[in-house]
A and B are shown apart, each in its own frame.
Chain A
Amino acid sequence: MIWNQAAECMSREEKRRLQSQRLKELVARVYANCEPYRKRMQEAGVTPDDIQSIDDIAKLPFTSKKDLRDYYPWGMLSAPLSDIVRIHASSGTTGKPIVAGYTANDLKIWEEVGARCLAAFGMDKNDVFHVSYGYGLFTGGLGAHGAGQNLGATVIPMSVGNTEKQLLMMHDLGATAIACTPSYALYLTEALEKSGIPREEFKLRVGVLGAEPWTEAMRKEIEQRLQIKAYDIYGLTEIIGPGVGHECEFQCGTHLHDDHFYPEIIDPETGEVLPEGSTGELVFTTLTKEGMPLIRFRTRDLTRLVYEKCQCGRTTVRMEKILGRSDDMLIIRGVNVFPSQVEAVLCEMEEVEPHFFITVDRVNNTDTFDIQVEVKEQFYTDDIKGMVKLQKKVVAKLQSVIGISPNIILSEPRSIERSQGKAKRVLDKRKFQ
């Protein structure tokens, strides 16, 4: 079902008019209320009067993740704190998270776009919606929750963990849809198979899956084993959370709600807007947000946009599967990992060299995370026990900082390539095609 026919099926001309109007209002609002943006625009020699249509967006400076950290926590807000009714945050590189503030109206927008996603997945008010995303600072739990509530579904706020109880609730309350990460869906599948409860006793039919990249193969496996239809829901904390985009029943790309979040594709090197149909870095402008609206936020995700009307009837622009990242952040088992974090941990340890090499792969639908490290000469021991102890120490240190546990491969002195300039320290073998 199409939740908001007017917004989702609007003609391109009409959409452009709406986007132009909203951009003008946004720029005026941000210029008046957000000092970093005002300064940026003044430096670039742009005033709100220069923005007359959506095409003028190219005149505006970009916003990066770094800006959000530099002005942590409130610097990027365009609304007074008294109007902010909710905070969400995502993990950052240096321990400082990225904090996003929402006004009451922002939450309304979020619930609106969220409901559009769920409706596209064939859900309605008769669904019992089991939300297994984490509730808290993470946008997943409360984002899916608000979307479900707005749709009129019966929302079960399960959050993460305690798989047995998850199964029990899903079974007893007759959940028809589940929101979780694709990897958790697979984990649940295994748990369900092990539990011995017949699949017929579950009413589950829809998976609202997101928050990490996943492959077609993974989708097939989830759909076959869990006997549901698995849909991708797309979102970024900086933009709003889950609900920025969604797949439709034809699963031919991610429909972006471009009446609220205006996407552009730019050349990641030069920052130039690329012609329609090009592959490049995805940039978003939040046309309607009040709390922390962002102008031309660089996602670092590489993809391509498709403007043709979809078979489903929606005219919202579609994004192809994300090809990769233009910077070095890795998403491993749903967790953001930066090589700089690994480096920081290794530098602090006296037993190992600061040189390392990360290899990420996906084996049996689970991300593998190997880090090759070199032990300093004086710390090599004569026995396996001593070396294994050292190995475990490195794992524990890294786990405490990055949140997931890597496989540490101890290697010989100077066996890791030393490069001049920017070191190549990551090999991501995963294929999301």
Chain B
Amino acid sequence: MTTKQLSIFLENKTGRLNDVAKILSESSINMKAFSIADNTDFGILRVLVSDTDKAYQILKQNGFAVKFTDVITLHISNTPGSLYSILDLLATANIYIEYMYAFSEGEQASVVIRPDNLEEAVKVLKQNNIQ
């Protein structure tokens, strides 16, 4: 259920995201999902990749500020209400979501969640048979 996500600090300037994409593609690393949080001066790229350790090493070698962050990834059905039931479980357990992003394909949807209390979140979800 938990996955290692890479968080990369990026200056807000044209082409910076291209650089990351290029470096990863040159090492044949695939990006499975990503999101960007930003303010006026900088952004943080959060990404799930096919080979996390390799991507981490390569980005570091190329001078990026990159960190591992543990996140929860869930595969749920791409139907109305399925996200709500999960969010409701976490809210009821008083777990705060720092950020999340999602993508869907066909009947499946995937959700990446960064809760403030990872252990507790995993526990709650498992108790409710959510994978």
Contact = CB atoms under 8 A, between A and B. Distances in A.
Given A380-B7, A387-B9, A388-B39, 15 more contacts: A375-B9, A375-B65, A380-B9, A382-B7, A382-B67, A382-B114, A384-B44, A410-B9, A410-B42, A413-B63, A413-B64, A413-B65, A414-B63, A415-B11, A415-B63
A250 B102 CA distance: 69
Contacts of B38: 384
Contacts of A415: 11, 63
Nearest to B46: A382
Contacts of B69: 382
B39 A384 contact: yes
A383 B98 contact: yes
A387 B42 contact: yes
A381 B99 CA distance: 13
Given A409-B41, A410-B42, A383 B64 contact: no
A384 B11 CA distance: 12
14 contacts: A375-B9, A377-B65, A380-B65, A382-B46, A382-B114, A383-B44, A383-B98, A384-B37, A391-B41, A410-B42, A412-B9, A412-B64, A413-B65, A415-B63
Interface of B: 7, 9-11, 37-39, 41-42, 44, 46, 63-65, 67, 69, 98-99, 114
Q: Which 4 A-B pairs have the closest CB atoms?
A: A382-B7, A380-B65, A382-B69, A380-B9
A399 interface: no
A136 to B, nearest CB: 37
A136 B42 CA distance: 42
Most chain-A Cβ atoms within 10 A of its Cβ — which of B42, B67, B69, B98?
B42
A387 to B, nearest CB: 7
B129 to A, nearest CB: 29
A411 B41 CA distance: 8
A383 B35 CA distance: 12
Most chain-B Cβ atoms within 10 A of its Cβ — which of A382, A384, A411?
A382
Contact of A411 (B11, B99, B114): B11
B44 A382 contact: yes
B41 A383 contact: no
A409 B43 CA distance: 12
Contacts of A388: 39
B52 to A, nearest CB: 14
Interface string A373-393: 001010011111001100100
A388 B40 CA distance: 11
B115 to A, nearest CB: 12
B1 to A, nearest CB: 19
Contacts of B39: 384, 388
B49 to A, nearest CB: 16
A165 B129 CA distance: 68
Contacts of A384: 37-39, 44
Contacts of A383: 37, 44, 98-99
B44 A387 contact: yes
Contacts of B67: 380-382
A388 to B, nearest CB: 7
Nearest to B64: A412
Given A380-B9, A382-B7, A382-B114, A412 B63 contact: yes
Most chain-A Cβ atoms within 10 A of its Cβ — which of B10, B44, B98?
B44
Interface in A374-433: 375, 377, 380-384, 387-388, 391, 409-415
A127 B114 CA distance: 68
A381 to B, nearest CB: 8
Nearest to B65: A380
A37 to B, nearest CB: 50
A35 to B, nearest CB: 52
A388 B63 CA distance: 22
A386 B64 CA distance: 18
A414 B69 CA distance: 23
A54 to B, nearest CB: 55
A409 B63 CA distance: 18
A253 to B, nearest CB: 42
A109 to B, nearest CB: 50
B91 to A, nearest CB: 20
A380 B42 CA distance: 12
Given A377-B65, A384-B37, A412 B10 contact: yes
A383 B98 CA distance: 8
Nearest to A378: B67
Contacts of B44: 382-384, 387
Interface string A355-389: 00000000000000000000101001111100110
Contacts of A375: 9, 65
B128 to A, nearest CB: 26
A306 to B, nearest CB: 45
Nearest to B37: A384
Contacts of A410: 9, 41-42
